[in-house]
Structure 1
Amino acid sequence: MATRHGQSGPAEANSRERFLQAALKVLVEQGVAGLTVRGLAEAAGTTTIGVYTRFGGRTGVLDALYERTFEMLEKELAQVPQPAGDVLADVLAFACAYRGFALESPARYAFMFERVVPGYDPDPDLRVLAQRCSYDLLAKRVHPAAPPGSDPDIAGYLVWTTMHGLVSLELTHRARTPPPGWFLSTADDSYFQVYRQGLCTVLAGLTAR
């Protein structure tokens, strides 16, 4: 994909891959605070000049990392069985894989879906990639539930915001001490049941219209 970090020739492929693997390791272990040119150079075992040479600077690295993380998400979601005609089962299977990906690395998820890097705005072409690797895949499973005459994209968006919102809030709650009397325990099953119930409720509302 042609973005601000540009295209690389065959001779640079291995070197770029080494940088990207180092960037992913930094992101997972240190969070976005570690995504500095110096920090990435140290993690990759090279100099800051090497980062600028291959990516043009920090923004180029972030674009490449953004692209890679969504490719990883798409690969994970590709393991979900293809839609079998049962909208609820199809959406829940997708949603479970999506939640699992988020819980595996909250720092990676935050980098992908939140503005955690001040001043960083992903390349427009990469935003298209992000949509294709996440929302579009879910929407295809939701569209059959859209009532006749309604906008299927709205149905997809309503389910997406429910799924995405519940996952994001779960990560926030898990990262902090629960307030006194909070009704959800920190056990995985507690949040999963609410997650499932939320998606079932939205889908039931769509099909009942």
Structure 2
Amino acid sequence: MATRHGHTGPADTHSRERFLQAALNVLVDQGVAGLTVRGLAGAAGTSTIGVYTRFGGRTGVLDALYERTFELLHDELSRLPHTSGNVVTDVLAYAHTYRGFALESPARYAFMFERAVPGYDPDPDLRKLARRSSYDLLADRVAQGVPADADADTTGYLVWSTMHGLVSMELTHRARTPPPGWFLKPDDCSYDRIYHEGITAILVGVGS
């Protein structure tokens, strides 16, 4: 994709891939704090000049990393079975895959969906790619069960925001000690259950 992090020639592909893998490793292991030019250069086993040469600087690296993380999410979602015609079943399949991707690496998820890197705003073309790789796939599944008198875009957004909110809250709770008397036990079963119930409730509520 042609974005502000530039075009890649065939000769640079292998080297660029090595940088991106190093950046992913840094993000997963150290969080966004590790995404500095010096830190990325060290992880890739090269100099900071190499980062500037290939990506034009830190923003270029972040753009390339942003693109790659959404490609990874799209790969996961693409493995889902074709839609069955049952919108609740189809949306829940998507939702649980999305949740699993988030739990696999909270730091990666935060980089993708939150303003985890101060001052960083992804390239506009990459924002479109991110939407096509995530939200649009969900909206297509939701649209199959939207009543004729309902707004499919609004319904899709309501389902997306419910799913996204539940995942974000779970990650926050998992990162902290639960408050005394909290009704959810800090285990996978409890959060999986509340997530499943929440997505189902919103689908039923909008008449899907």
Q: Which amino acid aligns with 1:178?
A: P
Which residue in 2 is equivalent to 1:199?
A: 199
- Name the CA distance, whole Å, in 1 between partners of 2:65 and 2:14: 15
Which 5+ residue runs of structure 2 have no aligned equivalent?
none
Which residue in 1 is equivalent to 2:162?
A: 162
Q: Which amino acid aligns with 2:18?
A: R
Contact 1:4 1:123 in 2 (8 A): yes
Which residue in 2 is equivalent to 1:128?
A: 128
Which residue in 1 is equivalent to 2:151?
A: 151
Which residue in 1 is equivalent to 2:11?
A: 11
Q: Which amino acid aligns with 2:42?
A: E
Contact 1:77 1:97 in 2 (8 A): yes
Which residue in 1 is equivalent to 2:42?
A: 42
Report percent identity of matched pairs. 72
- Name the CA distance, whole Å, in 2 between partners of 1:85 and 1:78: 17
Q: Which runs of 4+ in 1 moved over 3 A?
A: none
1:190 is aligned to 2:177: no
Contact 1:69 1:112 in 2 (8 A): yes
Deviation track 1:112-131 (CA, whole Å, cap 9, x = no partner) reads 00001000000000000000
Contact 1:163 1:199 in 2 (8 A): yes
Using the size of structure 1 for normalisation, the TM-score is 0.98
- Name the CA distance, whole Å, in 2 between partners of 1:145 and 1:162: 17
Deviation track 1:53-110 (CA, whole Å, cap 9, x = no partner) reads 0000000000000000000000000111111100010001111100000000000000
Which residue in 2 is equivalent to 1:105?
A: 105
Which residue in 1 is equivalent to 2:61?
A: 61
1:151 Cα shift? 1.2
1:134 Cα shift? 0.5
Using the size of structure 2 for normalisation, the TM-score is 0.99
Contact 1:111 1:117 in 2 (8 A): yes
Which residue in 1 is equivalent to 2:76?
A: 76
- Name the CA distance, whole Å, in 2 between partners of 1:108 and 1:164: 14
